[in-house]
Structure 1
Amino acid sequence: MQGHIQQAAEHRKGLAITAIGGLMLTADIPLIRLSQSDTWSALAVRSTLTVLVALVAFGILRFALKRPVPIIHGRAGLLVITLYGLASISFILAVYSTSTANLVFILAFNPMFSALLAWWIAGEKPRPQTFAAMVVMILGVLLIVADGLKAGNTTGDLLALATSLMLAGAITASRKARVDMGFAPLVAAIVPAVIGLAMAGGPSGVTVAAPGWLALNGLFAIPIAFWCLATGPRYISGPEVAMFYLLETILAPVWVWMIFSEAPTPLGLLGGGVIIVALVSHSLWQLSSHRRAVRTLAPRHPV
């Protein structure tokens, strides 16, 4: 009984940490857009500031604990860092290559990718309900991609799909390792920072019209968001962590609509609606299933 109580407490802790990360992540795209920077400048500045935060936090934590604090946990840590680094690059490229609505709707494929990877890597076979949700979501993505073909932003949509797959891979690898990977996505920002600076032509080539917004993003929003989202798999399953990325799917287009008056196209909105309905239905089913399992495991008093 005590073990079940502790497990439930850790699960609630994981949900709270990951929820904070998901909420902070919803500010990412609007802050990038508000900075009025070009693609490579945004990648360079956002990533460099994130690395600086990681180094400062690492130093403070090591001083407070009076012992070494591991950043890279073996080969699993290297894999997670690589995936986060590549995802950061493809994400920024997608921001400047497709609409915000298309980007976040396609990123919503993350939970389904996580479920498939959990099946492949950990042998956790998805249930028929999950397969059904995947089929519906594929239809939604096809609607968005078809809309992208008409609008000429197919490359951006494919970059968004690649980002979703790499994030799911990082989440799954973190979950399998069962160690604290909170610093992994922050340290991973070194790769996109170097690439962004190189493509921009060095520090002198960085162009940011409103640097304050990008500083807010790189110093606060992104470090908090990704530390929380990378820590979540230590306490909750990969698909559950991926579900919190859906907060960006729901809220980011709202912020962009409010700030920039950028409304999604009808076909893109339809595809996104299909994806959200499938995911919400699947999430409610998962929650109901989890609660039934907990009640089954709970000890019963004799009568």
Structure 2
Amino acid sequence: MSQLELDHRKGLLITGIGGLVLTADIPLLRLGQGETWSTLFLRSVTTFVAAFLIWAVWSLATGKKPKIVPGRIGLVVAALYGLTSITFMIAVYNTKTANLVFILAFNTVFSALLSWIFLKERPKTVTFIAMFFMLIGVGIIVREGLSSGHVFGDLVALLSTFILSTAITVSRASGKDMGFAAIVGTALPMLVAAYMVSQNGYAVAVPGWVIFNGAVVTTLAFLCLATGPKFISGPEVAMFYLLETVLTPIWVWMIFSERPSDPTLAGGLIIITALVCHSLWQMYHARRMARMTALRHPV
């Protein structure tokens, strides 16, 4: 087996672990049995501390200190990720988990549109087709939210998705490593949540779940998912993000007996099918281009 094949398998394993770990995020938050701002504060603090411990260990081990916030653009990215954390947490407590994770999968559509508008990266025809079907899926879920009283949470989830896509677009435009800037962004929700907690009181019945989530689960998940692109293609990495969309509603269904409604399941199935088909096409296209390049430039 060639080194290239070994690296590819390594990338699939690392990224697969990250995607699986990420599916525990929302269930752990809900197991904490806390109110929105208290949970956000505790999660942000633990993630912030864990990130800087990793940065310190990494710096000592390698002798290199990666930039935490690369300039003013880094502050913008950090602020965007901070806003994403706030809106995400509000959505967790104001809509069903299935609605939330299916709508979060819509970030690929927003990212494609923002890249087209600001980076002049026109999406391919197949991307437009996938976006069309995903719009239908999200529309079904939001419409169901209107009838079930979750429309506010659904709209906040959609806002969170848009802000996240904006952060990704700005990061791509800058061409800089924004890994630690995204984590520094937890300072914003931490400060906002601290103020809200000081006004309304602190209430987390089982803090251990939230601490474990912030310090271990989210940190490990994003480290693995960020390492994946070193070994495998972007479309392949994106496939593993779908694990959260697919598995999280199942965990919540098993733990909390919260069955997704039929319209939500229908909308989610449309979104997942469109995403999987689009990602498979991207993988096929990338490999085809790689083969063509190898034929043009034989070693």
TM-score w.r.t. structure 2 length? 0.89
- Unpaired runs of 5+ residues, structure 1, are none
- In structure 2, the partner of 1:43 is 40
**2:273 paired residue number:** 277
The CA distance in 1 between the partners of 2:173 and 2:231, in whole Å, is 11
Q: Which residue of 1 aligns with 2:29?
A: 32
Partner of 1:201: 198
* 1-structure distance, mates of 2:4, 2:123: 22
The 8 Å contact of residues 181 and 231 in structure 1, kept in 2 or not, is answered as no
The alpha-carbon deviation at position 219 of structure 1 amounts to 0.7
**How many angstroms does 1:267 deviate by?**
0.8
CA–CA distance in structure 1, aligned partners of residues 187 and 233 of structure 2: 27
TM-superposed deviation, 1:178: 3.8
Deviations 1:241-263 (A, max 9, x none): 55543221011001101111111
Structure 1 residues 220 and 141: CA distance shift in structure 2, 3 A: same
Check 1:301–1:74 CA distance in 2 against 1; reply closer, same or farther (3 A cut). closer
Moved more, 122-131 or 34-43: 122-131
Contact in 2 for aligned 1:171/1:241 (Cα 8 Å): no
SS of aligned partner of 1:245: helix
- Relative distance call for 1:169 and 1:280 in structure 2 (3 A) is same
Matches within 5 A, 1:39-78: 39-78=36-75
Tell me how far apart the structure 2 counterparts of residues 115 and 21 of structure 1 sit (CA, whole Å).
Answer: 23
Match of 1:218 in 2: 214
- The one-letter code of the counterpart of 1:245 is Y
Pick from 155, 178, 183 the counterpart of residue 152 of structure 2.
155
CA–CA distance in 1 between the matches of 2:266 and 2:118? 33
- Measure, in 1, the Cα distance between the counterparts of 2:117 and 2:6: 28
Verify the 8 A CA contact 1:101 1:264 in the aligned structure 2.
yes
Using the aligned pairs only, state the percent identity. 54
Match of 2:122 among 122, 125, 140: 125
Q: Using the TM superposition, give the Cα deviation of residue 299 of structure 1 relative to its aligned residue in structure 2, in angstroms.
A: 2.8
The range that moved more, 39-48 or 206-215, is 206-215
CA distance in 2 between partners of 1:190 and 1:18 (Å):
27
Q: Does 1:291 align with 2:287?
A: yes
Q: For the structure 1 residues 292 and 69, does the alpha-carbon distance in structure 2 shift closer, same or farther, using more than 3 Å as the test?
A: closer
- Size of the aligned set, in residue pairs, is 297
Q: Spell out, residue by residue over 1:88-142, the C-alpha distance to the aligned partner (whole angstroms, 9 max, x if none).
A: 0000000000000000010110122222222223322111111011111101111
Over residues 243-286 of structure 1, what are the superposed CA-to-partner deviations in whole Å (9 max), with x where a residue is unaligned? Answer: 54322101100110111111100111111111111111111111
**Structure 2 match to 1:89:** 86
Moved more, 275-284 or 88-97: 275-284
Q: Partner letter of residue 171 of structure 1?
A: I
2-side partners of 1:187 and 1:295: how far apart?
Answer: 40
Would you say the 8 A contact 2:11–2:228 is kept in 1? yes
When the two chains are superposed, the root-mean-square deviation of aligned CA atoms in Å is: 2.8
CA contact (8 A) 2:239 2:276 kept: no
- Distance in 1, matches of 2:32 and 2:292, equals 52
Query: In the alignment, is the contact (CA less than 8 A) between 2:101 and 2:244 conserved in 1?
Result: yes
Q: Which moved more, 1:236-245 or 1:186-195?
A: 236-245
TM-score, length-scaled by structure 1: 0.88
Q: Equivalent of 2:241, from 240, 245, 254?
A: 245
